Amino acid sequence: MNDAFWLRIGAVWGFLAVAMGAFGAHGLKPRIEAMGQLANFQTAAQYHMYMALALVAVGLLQANGRSGAALSVAGWGFLIGSTIFSGSLYVLSLTGLKWLGAITPIGGTVILIGWIALAVAAGGTAKPVDAAPPAEALGAREPADYSRGR
């Protein structure tokens, strides 16, 4: 994975969250309301966007030198968890299939694992930043030696 992977995934996830929210609010609202599923659809879109922002946070940590298993678990946890959580609520809202409500908490659990992993990843050590250039490169001179009396 390159350094921009999670930033790109987060941006795409955010785009999809806005698209789904707008589609639900404008194109599907009468159908969703008639089925009594508006709150479920709104919850799906809301958490979809939260996870997009969480994925951007993972990407920013990665771009700033963080790496490791915890950061990877956080990213995949947010992506897979929100696919299951929001996805099941979107489908439930559009179809009325009540059994999908039993799947939603699985996604929520995976999201929680992602948050714990993000906390662990954020507490790790980052890649060392390039050292500052030596003083000579900045035009500094040797300090004068005044210890020899006048």
pLDDT tens by residue, 107-118: 999 999 999 999
Phi, psi of 50 (to 5 degrees): -55, -40
Write down the pLDDT at residue 67: 85
Angstrom distances, CA of residue 106 to CA of 1, 36, 40, 117, 133:
26, 23, 16, 17, 51
Neighbours of 137 (CB within 10 A): 8
pLDDT tens by residue, 38-94: 999 999 999 999 999 999 999 999 998 888 999 999 999 999 999 999 999 999 999
